[in-house]
């Protein structure tokens, strides 16, 4: 009898939030902290995380909308839920409002990563989690 233990591989941390608690679900790796899913590529016996949508390593500069579409400067987006506006006059941006010509601002304060001119409100920062890229 030999004392052989099965070879285990260390799963990579989540490319979105850096959490070390990723787990396998079929062919994907899943982060329980932020719900990000990515493909596991095994070549040299070590699992390497790549973004499931484009096969490239996930980057902190990639900003996605509420349904996972990659956003870029100049895109038109639609607000998917009513957003209360704080400060100077208040009010709320209604769901369905179209915002054209957005500018991405990675690392914005409080998760606000889109710089936009919202009709009826003027220039403001939005969170990518409350918009969807328009077709």
Tens digits of residue pLDDT in 61-120: 688 888 888 888 889 999 998 888 877 667 888 999 999 999 988 877 778 888 999 888
For residues 27-51, give the mean pLDDT.
64
DSSP 130: G
pLDDT digits (tens, 9 = 90+) for 47-66: 444 444 444 444 456 888 88
Exposure b/e, 100-122, CB count within 10 A at least 16 = b: eebebbeebeeebbbbbebeebe
DSSP letter assigned to residue 129? G
pLDDT score of 78: 92
Q: How far, CA to CA in Å, does 118 sit from each of 15, 53, 123? A: 31, 29, 6
C-beta separation of 43 from 111 below 8 A: no
Q: 83: which residues sit within 8 A by CB, 6+ positions away?
A: 92, 93, 126, 130
pTM given for the model: 0.53
More confident residue, 37 or 42: 37
């Amino acid at each position: 009898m030999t004392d052989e233990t099965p070879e285990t591989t260390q799963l990579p941390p989540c490319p979105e939030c850096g959490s070390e608690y990723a787990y396998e679900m079929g062919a994907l790796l899943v982060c329980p902290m932020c719900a990000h899913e990515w493909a596991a590529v095994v070549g040299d016996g070590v699992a390497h995380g790549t973004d499931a949508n484009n096969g490239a390593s996930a980057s902190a500069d990639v900003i996605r909308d509420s349904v996972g579409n990659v956003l870029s400067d100049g895109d038109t987006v639609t607000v998917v839920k009513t957003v209360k506006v704080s400060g100077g006059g208040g009010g709320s941006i209604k769901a369905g409002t179209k915002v054209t010509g957005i500018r991405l601002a990675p690392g914005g304060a409080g998760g606000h990563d889109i710089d936009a001119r919202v009709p009826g409100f003027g220039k403001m920062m939005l969170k990518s989690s409350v918009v969807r890229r328009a077709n």
